[in-house]
Amino acid sequence: MEHFDVVSATKTYPVHIGPGLRHRFVEWLPKDFSTYLIVSDDIVAARYLDDVAVALKENRVHAFTVKNGEQAKSFETYYDGLTFALEKGLDRKSAVVALGGGVVGDLAGFIAATYMRGIGFIQMPTTLLAHDSSVGGKTGINHPFGKNLIGSFYPPDAVIFDTETLSTLPMEQVRSGFAEVIKHGLIRDAAMFEDLRRAIPTGEHLAAETFEHILPRSIRVKADIVASDEKELGVRAHLNFGHTLGHALEAELGYGAITHGEAVVIGMLFAMRLSEAYYLNKLPIARMTEWLQDLGYPVAIPEILDAEALLARMKRDKKAENERIRFVLMKRVGEVETVFLEDAFILRQLRIDMNDSIR
């Protein structure tokens, strides 16, 4: 079992990682809250909601369950969640518990951030992908113009990660979450990246028991970056490696058509090719591509998409400034930086990649 603190400019909060924590949930809370609103999706709720409710003493617990999937991060669902909290009489000493993956965490966090100008918030991730999103305080919902365009920075009061919940994940979700683990090695820890390649050479090695040892190392990368730049004014932007194109792919294909991790993998490979063109350096793209294919990821931009439409979508990304696209580029494995790139430069690489994928 692992315990450590995330220290940021606005809040210090604990992270607890280990098996069976949902049964002893109250032991890991930083304080007692008057009432608890558990936000979960229909799939996770069916498996784990009762365990958490019992641990929290059911008479003080209300559950707001949403449909599984990215579509839950809508204004309508967010509004329904606020209405539910009001109907149940949550007060300013209540807490919202996010029991689920990244979608639930983002939605529940935004409800907590805006209900009565902010109440308690506990992250209880149940997916591998949420090991990344549960730390750092980003909350929000989607808009037809793009992903996560409406939201706030609202750090949780605690992150309680029961690793037993990973054992029930379908491989598609395991693979999606592992993309963020890979990202942490690529942007900050080259040794971790190599360790991952050795420990998990193929998709057959993506097992829940493996992640109990990997997760603390990956989360610490995220925690260290958040500690130095909570509001994404500097190095925290490095965590967006692969996400500029990744978010555009998700939006253009329709949320849910491709997993977040699959989109990020394609985005990371694209960012590495952009980096070679920009820095005139040499990166292990061929080796990286082969490994990702062995893990079962798609590695090419889908042929049905249009390069100009992807470029336009990236210009509407929340990380863009004055419609200038900011990319996280790689100097070498373990070292990245943010760079504003000209449209023509990005479009040229998109066209090269998409022609290659057709051939």
- 117 a catalytic residue: yes
Instruction: Give, in order, the Cα–Cα distances in Å from 142 to each of 75, 101, 129, 329.
Output: 8, 15, 18, 25
- 131 a catalytic residue: no
Catalytic one of 16, 73, 238, 260:
260
DSSP string, 107-173: HHHHHHHHGGG--EEEEEE-SSTHHHHTSS-EEEEEETTEEEEEEEE---SEEEEEGGGGGG--HHH
Query: Which tokens go with 349?
Result: 């690489």
Catalytic one of 180, 212, 250, 252:
180
Question: How many whole angstroms separate alpha carbon 19 and alpha carbon 165?
Answer: 8
- 342 a catalytic residue: no
Backbone angles phi, psi at 78, to 5 degrees: -60, -45
Farthest-apart Cα atoms in the chain, separation: 62
Catalytic one of 212, 232, 252, 262:
232
Catalytic one of 220, 238, 247, 313:
247
Instruction: Give the Cβ contact number of residue 149 at 10 Å.
Output: 15
Catalytic one of 68, 142, 148, 240:
240
Catalytic one of 222, 230, 238, 313:
222
Catalytic one of 184, 243, 250, 313:
243
- 238 a catalytic residue: no
Contact at 8 Å (CB) between 182 and 143? no
Question: How many whole angstroms separate alpha carbon 145 and alpha carbon 80?
Answer: 21
- For residue 236, the number of C-alpha atoms closer than 13 Å in the C-beta half-sphere is 18
Catalytic one of 236, 238, 252, 262:
236
- 232 a catalytic residue: yes
Catalytic one of 31, 87, 117, 198:
117
Catalytic one of 22, 62, 73, 138:
138
Work out the end-to-end distance of the chain between its first and last CA atoms, rounded to an integer number of angstroms.
48
- 231 a catalytic residue: no
Q: Which residues are catalytic?
A: 117, 138, 180, 222, 232, 236, 240, 243, 247, 260
